[in-house]
Amino acid sequence: MSPEPTPQAPHPGSSPRPESSEVAYAAAEAAYDAGQQAGTMLQVIAPDGTVVRPDLLPDPATRLHLYRQMRRARHFDERGWVLYRQGRLGVFPPFGGMEASQVGTAAALTKDDWLFPTYRDTGAALTLGLPIARTLAYWRTSPHGWHMPADLKVLPFYIPIATQYPQAVGAALAEQRQGTRNVAMAFIGDGGSSEGDFHEALNFAGALNAPCVFILQNNGWAISVPTRHQTRATDLSRRADGYGIPGVRVDGNDALATYHVTREAVDRARSGGGPTLIETVTYRVKPHTVADDPTRYRTDADNAGWDAKDPVTRLRAHLLTEGLMTETGEADMLAEIAAEFEAALAEADSYPEPTPAEILDHVFAEPTPQLKKQRAEILAEHAHDQKEQA
């Protein structure tokens, strides 16, 4: 008989049952604070709005633009919750608390660049110019939101995990071969960085020097799984080292810092310097989706420390202290944002109800014989149903 195997000591991060929310939360906040104190995570302004790196401050107009876009994103997120509860919006992933990570990165692009968002990156798409009405239609599962505007290179929000990364490299290489200076930006979460597509894309981009910027939003959770359960790594930007490309770690709740590092990465890609991986360290204070019940794996108290790191209040404090914005001016801006949203909501409400066959309209530019056959079958069935109901 073979000898009994020697019992192995548990992995430092392993546990016989899911880690308590308190431990997972404490680990995420400790990692954030450690990065801040050690200087391994770039900051331009501290959580209270004070300036840490005056040499990296963008011009006042850019700071105000970033704040306005963050407010637009947060307003969408907050109104989205209300609309969902009213039955006027489908299930969507909220992103409140992650605005700096999305706005600060997408703001470094132009409309000639590509954006490959995940399902949680509505804020990034809005920043680049995706119309609010079209976005609402998408989260209503309406065909009016299934195709992007012709003048905007934004892909539909990706539901599969990590598939957008290799596709972004393909778009970047196409731009490179056409001789443009346009870049592709792709988003992913900390959970997605454990997928094979993530690593294949980084190797693909590095080997061919693709003008691609990879945004890795480390928000501490992959649905209900804390980051420390899926990897022993504490600095996910170091994953770039294995593929010979630059990796940067930045405070994902600091819009000025995320904008600075992303602008550098975009400029480098435009100039032929190749791809960059940017880890934005943030926290998912909201549920995974509006249908999620996060109390099953964490408590409301877990978010308390992150409320003090809120990206919107941080930049607001900075702008008020620096005299770049007044409370009256802010009130006017918020009123404009609210009016913009309500006008877009009215437009989305005016879209006609879709017909069943429209589900096939945006699959291919030129319908295949199989799609044409399926469309005819759907239309025939729909006509039969309507006749029976008459």
Cα 49 to chain centroid distance, Å, stands at 23
Q: Does residue 284 have an active-site annotation?
A: yes
> Cα angle vertex 312, ends 307, 316, to 5°?
115
* Spatial distance between the Cα atoms of 170 and 205, rounded to a whole number of angstroms: 9
* Spatial distance between the Cα atoms of 289 and 293, rounded to a whole number of angstroms: 8
The widest CA-to-CA distance across the chain, in whole angstroms, is 82
* Spatial distance between the Cα atoms of 106 and 374, rounded to a whole number of angstroms: 38
> Among all chains, which residue has been given the structure tokens 């006749």?
387
**Residue 187 in contact with residue 118, Cβ under 8 Å?**
yes
Catalytic-labelled residue, pool 74, 228, 249, 288:
288
Query: Per the structure block, which two tokens stand in for 37?
Result: 């104190």
Backbone angles phi, psi at 114, to 5 degrees: -95, 145
**Residue 178 three-state SS:** coil
Q: Does residue 288 have an active-site annotation?
A: yes
Catalytic-labelled residue, pool 84, 158, 165, 297:
297
Q: Indicate the burial class of 274 (C-beta count within 10 angstroms; 0-12, 13-18, 19 or more).
A: buried
Number of H helices, E strands in the chain: 13, 7
Q: Does residue 316 have an active-site annotation?
A: no
Q: What is the DSSP string of 113-151?
A: SEEE-BTT-HHHHHHHT--HHHHHHHHTT-GGGTS--TT
* Spatial distance between the Cα atoms of 341 and 343, rounded to a whole number of angstroms: 5
Catalytic-labelled residue, pool 284, 298, 316, 318:
284
Active site residues: 284, 288, 297
